[in-house]
Amino acid sequence: MMRGFATGLAVSVFRAISEEILEPMGYNFDDRWTIVMLLSLPITLGATELWIRVTRPRKSVGASV
């Protein structure tokens, strides 16, 4: 579920990077499209995978009874 949400969130990241960061820097539409397509999905999925790994409960090692 988190990975699906991250994929949907990539659309927002796509627009933010394209319109708020790259457009004022003077990139044309074709260059912005290429850059953002290569960045938006990996950013959101990478952050999600990191979140999943950090918040995953740890298994107890060597529990003796």
How do residues 8-56 score in pLDDT, each as one tens digit? 999 888 888 898 889 999 999 999 999 998 989 999 999 999 999 999 9
- Residue 24 structural domain: 2-53
Structure confidence at residue 25 (pLDDT): 93
Establish if 20 belongs to a structural domain. yes
Establish if 58 belongs to a structural domain. no
Establish if 33 belongs to a structural domain. yes
CB 30 within 8 A of CB 18: no
Q: What is the pTM of this model?
A: 0.68
Number of structural domains (the chain) is 1
Going from the C-alpha of 20 to that of each of 5, 39, 43, 44, the distances in angstroms are: 22, 14, 16, 17
pLDDT at 64 over 70: no
For the residues 5-9, what does the mean pLDDT come to? 91
Establish if 27 belongs to a structural domain. yes
Structure confidence at residue 61 (pLDDT): 72
Establish if 48 belongs to a structural domain. yes
Establish if 63 belongs to a structural domain. no
pLDDT at 62 over 90: no
